[in-house]
Amino acid sequence: MSIVKRFITESLKKAEIEEFLEKKLERAGYGGVDISKTPLGTHVVVYAMRPGIVIGRGGGTIKDLARVLEEKFNVSNPQISVSEIEVPELNAHVVGSRIASALQRGIHFRRAGFWALNQVMDAGALGVEITISGKLRTQRARFEKFRAGYFPRCGEPALKYTRKAEIHVQLKPGILGVRVKIMPPDAIFPDRIQIVDVPKPDEETEALPEQKTEVNTPKEASQ
The reported pLDDT for the residue numbered 114 is: 93
Position 34 confidence tier, pLDDT thresholds 50, 70, 90: confident
Residues 102 and 139 in one domain: yes
Residues 93 and 80 in one domain: no
The reported pLDDT for the residue numbered 221 is: 46
Distance CA 120, CA 117 (A): 5
Range of the domain at 146: 88-183
Q: What is the mean pLDDT of residues 68-74?
A: 87
Domain count, the chain: 2
The reported pLDDT for the residue numbered 195 is: 79
Rg (CA), the chain: 28
The reported pLDDT for the residue numbered 214 is: 55
The reported pLDDT for the residue numbered 75 is: 85
Instruction: Report the first-to-last Cα separation within the chain, whole angstroms.
Output: 88
pTM over 0.85: no
Q: Kindly state whether residue 11 falls inside one of the protein's structural domains.
A: yes
CATH at 165: 3.30.1140.32
Q: Kindly state whether residue 213 falls inside one of the protein's structural domains.
A: no
The reported pLDDT for the residue numbered 219 is: 53
Distance CA 190, CA 161 (A): 13
Q: What is the mean pLDDT of residues 92-113?
A: 91
At residue 182, what is the residue type? I
Q: Kindly state whether residue 157 falls inside one of the protein's structural domains.
A: yes
The reported pLDDT for the residue numbered 111 is: 93
Residues 95 and 78 in one domain: no
Residue after which a domain boundary falls, among 84, 104, 127: 84
Q: Kindly state whether residue 117 falls inside one of the protein's structural domains.
A: yes
